[in-house]
Amino acid sequence: VAEGYTVEDIHVSPEHITVAARSEVLDQMTDLALSEHYVDLKGLTETTSFQIKVSKPSEDAVLSNETITVTVEVEPDGTDREGN
């Protein structure tokens, strides 16, 4: 984040995604892949939400949500507010 700011909290919504697929796909699945592996926080000075696409484990799989929202809460770190 920008200098003088700090990350206060991170929220992911939804917290769970249901997958419907052939049993062979589900038996081998341990995680769902995301289109992006990180969220760029460079220069953030305010709370920001990011939409990230969830990749299907197979072409015929059905997901309860195809995107997740990652919300990063950013606040001044306190030194600027107190003049220190």
- Tokens 């920001």 correspond to 48
| pLDDT, position 84 | 46
Q: Which residues in the chain show pLDDT less than 50?
A: 80-84
| pLDDT, position 79 | 59
Cα separation values, 33 from 17, 39, 55, 67, Å: 12, 14, 5, 11
| pLDDT, position 57 | 94
| pLDDT, position 36 | 84
Cα separation values, 20 from 26, 56, 60, 61, 69, Å: 8, 10, 9, 6, 21
